[in-house]
Amino acid sequence: MAPHDLRRPFKRPAISDQQRRRELSLQRQSQNRRDAQQQARCLASSVLSLQSQYPDPVPELEIEPESQPQQEAGPLTKDLDIRQASKLRGPEVRKWFASQLMLPEWMIDVPDRLSHDWYVFARPAGKRCMVVSSNGTTVSRERNGSILHHFPSALPSGARTKDPSGSAQSYCILDCIFHELDQTYYVIDMVCWRGYSLYDCTAEFRFFWLNSKLAETGACDAPSHYHKFRFSTVPVYDCDQRGLYSAYIESVPYAKDGLLFYNKHAHYQTGNTPLALVWKDEKCSQYVIDTDSKGQVLSQQQIIGAKPELRQLVVLELQEDGKLSTSDDPPVIFGCLDGEFIQKSGLQSGSLLKFAIGNGGLSFVDGKLEKSDLNYLGKSNRARMFADSYSKVIFQYMVRHTPLKFDDLLASVSPSDDEENKPCDVEMVD
């Protein structure tokens, strides 16, 4: 039995470069394997992501889908085709793009379990847009589909520079608000990240992902040659009393335009959704009362007998049978034009028409719209893509008559407020 050798490595690094080469190869291979697997699953989710076909995870808030005109007209896939679509031109693509954003309804009553199931944050004032980075360039498109900027960015595949992930599949889609004053894209939601679709992930996960991933790319850094605009996240709070208060009162680097509420369990659902809500008052927005596209309060129309600041305009879509409907799915009917008038005015079904709400106002029975006093003003601006939503009309109506106040919101999330104890419906009578 000989003595045992006790030599230890002397002046040598613990890992050889050969070992390192092996390990780096293995890392690359397993990353590539994950990418391939992910891609296969994305192909699956493209079929799965027509959420409207399947029960929503939060059934009590679900809207029964009756028809799916957008899905039938537009491409079936979302994340895969959005990259194609970003290269297209013309009115069709504008329409297509316009339908890709998740649009909040206006908050006309306080949802149950606000403090448990919802986030709140101060919405930046600015242009809502979809930012797509892919193949070494970044394109932002406004809600109406028109291109806002075409620029290099530090987002994955957002510029023609070294991309550490190295994958050509690593495109991203972000839901942003472009804030003119500091030339910053405020990212309010993440739709796709490095080729991975987040459409079918909960808001809780999307926000978590957004906060953990965006900064690490350098997209939040100051602008540079390869990174023309700064991106930024917004502070998101749990919608308890403190969070609500913080979102409402605390100063942020951007001008606020109301508060946005997101249901934690909601997936990214394109179009209007009751799982995201917007609310505003004068303190947290300059634009509480309806504004036109230039941000001017609409006041020039003379509606006899109404106080000028309370005049309310609505845009509704003319249906084939003469009914006037909102942009909701299913649409809500606000009234009807008679055939003779339609003919005389040369209006066609599908037209967007502008009305003022007259002295008769809106009447409700059991919380449902029963009657509305509408005065026809004319055709809507051609830039408009959609009629107003029901919640917008009602919110604007309430602002003018019985506004939902911040204190009401606070009260609904007060700790004393038992879960079972649902907030009362706001009375909506003229």
Q: What is the x/- site pattern for another protein, positions 324-343, by CB under 8 A?
A: --------------------
Shortest Å distance, C-beta 41 to another protein: 6
Q: How far is CA 59 from CA 63, 275, 286, 394, in A?
A: 9, 11, 35, 23
Measured CA to CA, the distance from residue 116 to residue 173 in angstroms comes to: 28
Instruction: Out of 7, 307, 344, 382, point to the residue binding another protein (CB under 8 A).
Output: 7
Q: Applying CB under 8 A, does 59 fall inside the site for another protein?
A: no
Q: Which is nearer to another protein, 136 or 235 (CB)?
A: 136
CA angle 278–123–158, rounded 5-degree value: 120
Q: Which stretch binds another protein (CB under 8 A): 53-61, 96-104, 177-185, 287-295?
A: 53-61
Sheet with 323-325: strands ordered across: 333-336, 323-325, 313-318, 352-365, 368-379
- With CB under 8 A as the contact rule, which of the stretches 95-103, 120-128, 162-170, 255-263 interacts with another protein? 162-170
User: Per CB under 8 A, does 62 bind another protein?
Assistant: no
Select the residue interacting with another protein from 11, 89, 307, 344 (CB under 8 A).
11
Count of Cβ atoms closer than 10 Å to residue 414 Cβ: 10
Q: Which of 73, 76, 168, 249 binds another protein (CB under 8 A)?
A: 168
Q: Which stretch binds another protein (CB under 8 A): 14-22, 90-98, 105-113, 382-390?
A: 14-22
One DSSP character per residue, 11-43 reads S--SS-HHHHHHHHHHHHHHHHHHHHHHHHHHH
Largest CA distance in the chain: 114
Regarding 44 and contact with another protein (CB under 8 A), the answer is yes
Verify binding: residue 69, another protein, rule CB under 8 A.
no
User: Closest separation between CB of residue 37 and another protein, Å?
Assistant: 6
> At closest approach, how far in Å is the CB of 115 from another protein?
19
Burial 340-378 (b: 16+ CB within 10 A, else e): eebeeeebeeebbbbbbbbeebbebeeeebeebebebee
Decide: is 4 part of the binding site for another protein (CB under 8 A): yes
- Total binding residues for another protein by CB under 8 A? 51
* Residue 382 in contact with another protein, rule: CB under 8 A: no
Tell me which of 81, 112, 142, 163 binds another protein, using CB under 8 A.
163
Q: Indicate the residue among 25 and 183 with the shorter CB distance to another protein.
A: 25
Q: How many CB atoms lie within 10 A of CB 154?
A: 23
Question: Can you list the positions of beta strands (E) in 245-322?
Answer: 256-263, 271-279, 313-318
296 binds another protein (CB under 8 A): no
Closer residue to another protein in complex, CB, 206/256: 206
**Ramachandran angles phi, psi of 128, nearest 5°:** -70, 130
Name the residue among 131, 149, 152, 166 with its Cα closest to residue 226: 152
Which C-beta is closer to another protein: that of 1 or that of 383?
1
Task: Based on the shown chain and the rule CB under 8 A, indicate whether residue 32 belongs to the binding site for another protein.
Answer: yes
* Cβ atoms of 240 and 413 closer than 8 Å: yes
Q: How far apart are CA 162 and CA 173, in angstroms?
A: 19
Q: Is the dihedral of CA 386, 387, 389, 394 positive or negative?
A: positive
**Closest to another protein by CB, 201 or 260:** 201
Dihedral pair phi/psi, residue 187, rounded to 5°: -85, 115
**CA separation for the pair 209, 259 (Å, rounded):** 21
**Residue 398 binds to another protein (criterion: CB under 8 A):** no
200 near another protein, judged by CB under 8 A: yes
Q: Show contacts with another protein in window 214-253 (CB under 8 A).
A: 218, 226
Helical H runs in 346-400? 390-400
* 37 lies in the site for another protein, by CB under 8 A: yes
Q: Does 26 bind another protein (CB under 8 A)?
A: yes
Give 104's contacts (C-beta < 8 A, 6+ positions apart). 260, 261, 272, 273, 276, 277, 278
Give residues in contact with another protein (CB under 8 A). Answer: 1, 3-4, 6-8, 10-11, 13, 16-18, 21-22, 24-26, 28-29, 32-33, 36-37, 40-41, 43-45, 48, 54-55, 57, 135-136, 160-164, 166, 168, 196, 200-202, 205, 208-209, 212, 218, 226
